[in-house]
Structure 1
Amino acid sequence: MQVRSEKGWGIDWAGIGWLFLFFWYFSCVPQLLIQITGTSGFTGFRQAFVMSALWLVPVLLFPAKTRLIAGSIGLLLWAASLVSLGYFFIYGQEFSQSVIFIMFESNAAESREYLIQYFAWWMLPAFALHTLVAYLLWRRVRPIEMTRQPAFAAAALMLLSSVGYPLISQGLREKTMGSALLKVEARMEPAVPWQLVLGYRQYREQLNNMQGMLTDAAKIPPLKHLKSTLGDQPATLVLVIGESTNRQRMSLYGYPRNTTPNLDKLRQDMLVFDDVVTPRPYTIEALQQVLTFADEQNPDLYLKTPSIVSVMKQAGFKTYWITNQQTMTKRNTMLTTFSEQADEQVYLNNNRNQNARQYDGDVLAPFAKVLQEDAPKKFIVVHLLGTHMSYQYRYPPEFEKFTDRTGAPSSLRDDQLPTYNAYDNAVLYNDFVVSSLIKEYAQKDDNGFLLYLSDHGEDVFDSPTGNVLGRNEAKPTAPMYTIPFMVWASPKWREGHEWSFIADTKRPYSSSQLIHTWADLAGLSFDEYDPSKSIVSAEFKERPRIIGNPYGAKKSLIDFSLIKPKPPKTEIETAQK
């Protein structure tokens, strides 16, 4: 970039640097705090850096008014950065469209309560310091004199690098401009004020989608001839949905590492089902079947039949949904639709990225609070973030127990070991959360039961090849589908209900039929209930467990038995041999 001087034309790097630093500062501070606290990865920091260059364009086009333009834009960025910074101070999370959803769903009294509860005196001087640094940076901004052609060329370069090139490259990859625009928006979100602008636009879009789904759900006919063996008897029934947890990595299911010490101790008080799989390895697609009457043969039934929340409401239960999953994202709109069918909701995770630090221990306090509510019949769904990638963000430092090769497969490479260990540490923390929910429930001494299962599994170098990480429906492996499935019942419930299902725990089962097992356990009957699909029913019928994409080609649906797991040898087993 060139500036006019007595000695001719040159590049005023210092002037450009101060100007860019001023614009970047407002996005830099929240992103820097996110990096320091390890809340999320480096991607947001990098994207905020690139997108901040966009604000150089108007200054380059009108260089004579540099300070006025920079000051005007700076005021906008400053106000937006205070929102992001304040939200991070309070929640330790990055601002997102999920936050906007919570804000608009809360009334004035709730907002005031949150403010009083979380506001701390040190925030005021922190905001003042943030503002002072911004002002001092603005003081260093000075006019840049340029001729028209170099200014236009520089402005074009900034537009191309921050928006043009990403849009073109994404357009070539995505094949459609709409998809490319969404990708570019995702790149812009970490920078202010786009967190607010794009967050609100996405909130409105997803809200409209959700409202449409809720309207359609309201039109679904009620269950036919619904009956309950409970009568007027009080009861609290709890469904805990895990995330990305492969039962093969739980000591409860024979894994050599002690990853579930708390559940191991509770085993004698639980029904632990040994052979349950999920129909699909993705959260939304799996839960469309798990929480409804849909299955692999009838995948669209989730649009035409009641969800488990609706079933329990029709049975006279007050319903609650406590979730540590992201709330208002394009992928999670279906989950939010399920949650909004409940009478009350508690949304805990407002991170912009799924791969951000978020601990499931946050669900314990609202769960305890709901248990104390004065409602004779309660149905509570607790949706965990479980062991979702990135695994190191799923557990606090005190749960970092597995750090070496002890108990790990002998075939594990050195570069795979940190990820493998992080997953086991995440399973260890998941054990703490799930067992804490059971213990909290046990202290209340309610009449009822708690059922825990994971939405799907995860392959973390567990399959025979030893090179698979994550989930890929096109290339299925057993760890992607093998899930934990267990039920704990209170003494009061066991006294009044049949609970000798020990022989049933070995039955091969698909979680796509959960709603039938749930109805059986809860003492509900209706025309849509099929006892042959209940794992605890005397009329249970073993079926092929179909997995895959039901909307894909015929060959995409296969029997799970074709990919049955073969546990890898561990370091201990190899040494013994």
Structure 2
Amino acid sequence: MSFAKSLALTFDKKFRGYFIVLLIVSVFLQLWPVFFTQPVRFALRIAICNVLLLLSVSAVYRYVPGKIITFILTLALTLNFAVAFSCWDIYQSEFNTVFAMSILATNASEAKSMFGLYAYLLPVVALYFVVTWYTVKSLSVNITPRVKFISVILLVLFMGWFAVTCFIKKKQDLEVYYPLSSRILVYTPLYTGAELIIAHRDNALAEQIIKADPHYPALQIHDTGIENYVVIVGESARRSNMQLYGFAQQTTPVEASFARNALVFSQAIAPASATVLAVPMILSNADPDHFTVDRLADNVVNIAAKSGYYTEWISAQGNSGKSNNYIVAIASTSAKHQWIQTRYDTDLLPALDEALKKPGRKVIFLHINGSHEVACDRYPESAAVLNTGDKYEDCYNNAIHFTDFFIGEVARRLQDSASSLLYFSDHGLEKNPELASLYMHGSRNPSKEAYNVPQFIWYSPQALENQKRRLGWVSEPWSTANNYSLMLSWLGIDTGTENCLSLLEHCYQPQSQIFVMDGGRHIFNYSQLRKNFSSPETAIPWRKAKSDSL
């Protein structure tokens, strides 16, 4: 027997003798990045499933197919560990959809150039593979068939329980964003695969919307006398906390001064209580009953570009994930789109300055963080101008005030040109006295607070001089799901069909009923909702979205 072979056998026997230590080391390595990035309950689920997987596969290791299964499983576990460990070690972050999209979008050249960044991690990754392989090998020799059998049964029960739970939640529309496969993977040591599934689904959805490319055979553009259009897509702004709408504190002094040069909606109602549903419906021809690919493709960003406008999307929010997948798909139809990683919305202003330099007619979309939870983080310390002693109330109102300052900075840039600004919030927030932070998104059994939002169209002095504009207050309820139609009129775009959902058209008639959607895709008649979160809960009739909705 050769020396090398003898050494290998000796090494192999020593490994076999320490099967418990190997098992602990393998599981500990897999959990290493989890300890720093996830809750304890997440780590505990991963640990249990990991142990059961290794024990179960050891039952078939001695057979040739078993060794193949072991190799595939060990390789998959190693890849999961490598991805999670590199994200934690390099970026101090958990693996998320943004990273997953980057992986799916990379090519051979990019992968080669990035290899140097991760090369130093290879010894740790290789160590994990070796330890895990020998863990299974040693377990196959040192544990009894009875223990192996029990492990298989427990693994089936463990995975079965979570699979059934996830399936029930999916059927109840509690987690409509997450594919069932991704929800199940989250409970396993292959959890990074869940983000890859979501990223793949979101990429495919965006591609569908972009490829849908609706055709408008009678598309016409009328001269509006306006060169610069800016749309500010606000976030989590409650109308009742704004000075413009009668709030006692001076939260919106800039917007209050706009009233004489603006069309202000006194009862604007968002179509959904969550960003991921509300913004796409506001910007597209989709509505609570028809949230489909073809309707989302028929959006104002796309149609403005087809009408000859230069379009640009500038966002302080992310370009992936649960809150942004449909929005990113719509934004991607613009001539230029950029997502700026920033803490404060004012950091978008330099990008706006560059966009305004573009010649000709343009529509620029600014998607801000506004007063989204946690409101205390949405403005710099120097902007904490309101101080009543109620910390979280002050935080929220200061965030509203900072958004008002931002709007003022945008208007200042438009003041000396023929320009117009549309501002609206994606949805409102409910005030829950039982929460320390007070404000929250509307969920099951929502109140009207979750949908009550601000909206106005402001015109610069030059825009008011060159054409007559509709100004003043709109007193009747207005669904911002009709903003798609409103913006077509505002931009002077005619598709060749009647646009009677637009307040700016002669054929417009106020809606007798306005329907809204909660995060679980339940559709309510807005008028039947309770007034606010503190109002007594009642059984409110609802229906589900049409079967062809996403």
Fold conserved between structures, TM > 0.5 = yes
Residue 84 (structure 2) aligns with:
81
Residue 101 (structure 1) aligns with:
101
CA distance in 2, matches of 1:152, 1:180: 37
Q: 2:398 aligns with which of 428, 431, 438?
A: 428
> Which deviates further from its counterpart, 198-207 or 146-155?
146-155
Residue 183 (structure 2) aligns with:
186
C-alpha change, 1:194 and 1:400, in structure 2 (3 Å) is farther
Q: Give the TM-score normalised by structure 1.
A: 0.67
CA contact (8 A) 1:167 1:180 kept: no
Residue 453 (structure 1) aligns with:
424
Summarize deviations over 1:373-392 as a string: whole Å, max 9, x none.
5342221222334444x535
CA contact (8 A) 2:264 2:471 kept: no
Q: 2:374 aligns with which of 378, 381, 391?
A: 391
C-alpha change, 1:434 and 1:79, in structure 2 (3 Å) is farther
CA contact (8 A) 1:170 1:180 kept: no
CA distance in 1, matches of 2:208, 2:404: 34
Say if 2:56 is the partner of 1:56: no
Summarize deviations over 1:336-357 as a string: whole Å, max 9, x none.
33122222222357xxxxxxxx
Which amino acid is 2:206 matched to?
M
**Residue 245 (structure 1) shift:** 2.5
Q: 1:163 aligns with which of 159, 166, 170?
A: 159
User: Which 5+ residue runs of structure 2 have no aligned equivalent?
Assistant: 1-17, 63-69, 536-550
CA distance in 2, matches of 1:310, 1:130: 45
Residue 26 (structure 1) aligns with:
33
C-alpha change, 1:225 and 1:168, in structure 2 (3 Å) is closer
CA distance in 2, matches of 1:399, 1:112: 45
Q: 2:463 aligns with which of 479, 493, 500?
A: 493
CA distance in 1, matches of 2:524, 2:160: 41
C-alpha change, 1:381 and 1:545, in structure 2 (3 Å) is farther
CA contact (8 A) 2:30 2:81 kept: no
Residue 543 (structure 1) aligns with:
511
Residue 527 (structure 1) aligns with:
496
**Residue 235 (structure 1) shift:** 1.9
Say if 2:226 is the partner of 1:243: no
**Residue 239 (structure 1) shift:** 1.3
CA contact (8 A) 1:244 1:387 kept: yes
Residue 209 (structure 1) aligns with:
205
Q: Give the root-mean-square deviation of aligned CA atoms.
A: 5.3
**Residue 371 (structure 1) shift:** 2.0
SS in 2 for 1:520: helix
C-alpha change, 1:279 and 1:179, in structure 2 (3 Å) is closer
CA contact (8 A) 1:238 1:450 kept: yes
Query: Counterparts in 2 of 1:91-240, with a 5 A limit?
Result: 94-101=94-101, 146-149=142-145, 151-152=147-148, 155-156=151-152, 159=155, 163-171=159-167, 174=170, 182-183=179-180, 185-186=182-183, 188-189=185-186, 194-195=191-192, 197-216=193-212, 218=213, 220-222=214-216, 224=218, 226-230=220-224, 235-240=227-232
C-alpha change, 1:27 and 1:305, in structure 2 (3 Å) is closer
CA distance in 2, matches of 1:85, 1:266: 47
Which amino acid is 1:316 matched to?
G
SS in 2 for 1:483: strand
C-alpha change, 1:53 and 1:225, in structure 2 (3 Å) is closer
Residue 362 (structure 2) aligns with:
378
CA distance in 2, matches of 1:534, 1:323: 26
Which amino acid is 1:543 matched to?
Q
C-alpha change, 1:192 and 1:229, in structure 2 (3 Å) is farther
User: Which 5+ residue runs of structure 1 have no aligned equivalent?
Assistant: 1-10, 33-41, 116-122, 350-357, 408-417, 570-577
CA contact (8 A) 1:51 1:188 kept: no
SS in 2 for 1:320: strand
**Residue 453 (structure 1) shift:** 0.6
Say if 2:396 is the partner of 1:442: no
C-alpha change, 1:190 and 1:370, in structure 2 (3 Å) is farther
CA contact (8 A) 2:262 2:471 kept: no
CA distance in 1, matches of 2:300, 2:320: 21
SS in 2 for 1:516: helix
C-alpha change, 1:262 and 1:179, in structure 2 (3 Å) is closer
Identical-pair percentage: 16
**Residue 489 (structure 1) shift:** 3.0
C-alpha change, 1:326 and 1:53, in structure 2 (3 Å) is farther
Summarize deviations over 1:414-452 as a string: whole Å, max 9, x none.
xxxx8xx26x62453254246325414523655322211
C-alpha change, 1:108 and 1:448, in structure 2 (3 Å) is farther
C-alpha change, 1:324 and 1:468, in structure 2 (3 Å) is closer
Query: Counterparts in 2 of 1:245-260, with a 5 A limit?
Result: 245-260=237-252
**Residue 364 (structure 1) shift:** 1.0
C-alpha change, 1:181 and 1:477, in structure 2 (3 Å) is closer
Which amino acid is 1:514 matched to?
N
Query: Counterparts in 2 of 1:457-536, with a 5 A limit?
Result: 457-461=428-432, 470-472=441-443, 475-499=445-469, 501-502=471-472, 504-528=473-497, 530=499, 533-535=501-503
CA distance in 1, matches of 2:177, 2:489: 47
The aligned length equals 497
Residue 5 (structure 1) aligns with:
none
CA distance in 1, matches of 2:198, 2:401: 35
Summarize deviations over 1:150-178 as a string: whole Å, max 9, x none.
651574377358634322433455569x9
Which amino acid is 1:212 matched to?
Q
CA distance in 2, matches of 1:347, 1:192: 32
